[in-house]
A and B are shown apart, each in its own frame.
Chain A
Amino acid sequence: MGEELRLPIAADVDVVEARQQGRALAAVAGFSSGEQTVIAAAISEIARNILMYAKKGEIILSLVQNGDRQGVSVVAIDQGPGIPDIDRAMQYGYSTSHGVGAGLPGAKRLMDEFEVDSIVGRGTTITMKKWRRSI
């Protein structure tokens, strides 16, 4: 539902732009400022992963609805090398790039739904959603 926001990721300024747009969308969806920051942090992690592993890609942001629950969907798409071992990539502290190893598992912790779809040599798509707590 609604329109989606497609943001190219090809430089580190794009990571900042993506997380700020994500925060703005989370505000529109009615998330608290704490949750907006959580969503922004998750976007920052997966957008950086695109840069690190695939050099370029795209983040697609949109509002989603499930019954009377509102949420934000973040999809990260790249045509990079893919993730050979998703289970390991999802382990906290595991990194193949001298990073902290908090990227994917960190983003997963922050969001309510998290799905990795990756084909070696073809690319990776990460779909994550966060739902507003019903009051």
Chain B
Amino acid sequence: MEVPILRQGQYLIASIQSALTDADLSHLREALIAQVGRSRCRGVIVDVTALDVMDSFAVRTLRDIAHMARLRGAETVIVGIQPDVAFAMVQLGLTLKGVATVLDLEEGLAFLDSRTKATLDTKPKRGRG
């Protein structure tokens, strides 16, 4: 099951539509990181609302996506972790330390807006010539 990746302005939105196999997750990671470069985007949203379970492999892959995207100059935010999924993650002892998570897509867009705006504002001004 391939995860569709949409482009919206400066952001990529990967919207997971169903349960994913490990191979699907790895493929999503490769596709997102490649597309961050191709589309020169500044932010990535991974919507996991439809994910049935977040086990150790899923958590590691999402963390890898966030860290790799950051190395490529894009911020990542995970949106839509369901209450039951969060419950199981905590019991499993899995955290998404160092990865931004917000409630839903709307919050995700707002988060990226504030993040990318902040980095643009702090960018040193370049002199001419």
What residues make up the interface of A, taking CB atoms closer than 8 Å to B?
12-13, 15-16, 19-20, 23, 33-34, 36-38, 40-41, 44-45, 48, 92, 99-100, 102-103, 106, 109-110
Contact = CB atoms under 8 A, between A and B. Distances in A.
B93 A106 contact: yes
A12 B89 CA distance: 20
Given A41-B92, A110-B92, A48 B22 contact: yes
B92 A36 contact: no
B34 interface: no
Chain A interface SS verdict (over half): helix
Given A40-B52, A41-B53, 8 more contacts: A33-B84, A41-B92, A44-B57, A92-B93, A100-B57, A106-B92, A106-B94, A109-B92
Interface of B: 19-23, 52-57, 59-60, 83-85, 87-89, 91-94
Contact of A109 (B23, B84, B93): B93
User: Most chain-A CB neighbours within 10 Å: which of B23, B53, B92?
Assistant: B53
A6 B91 CA distance: 27
A34 B84 contact: yes
Nearest to B94: A102
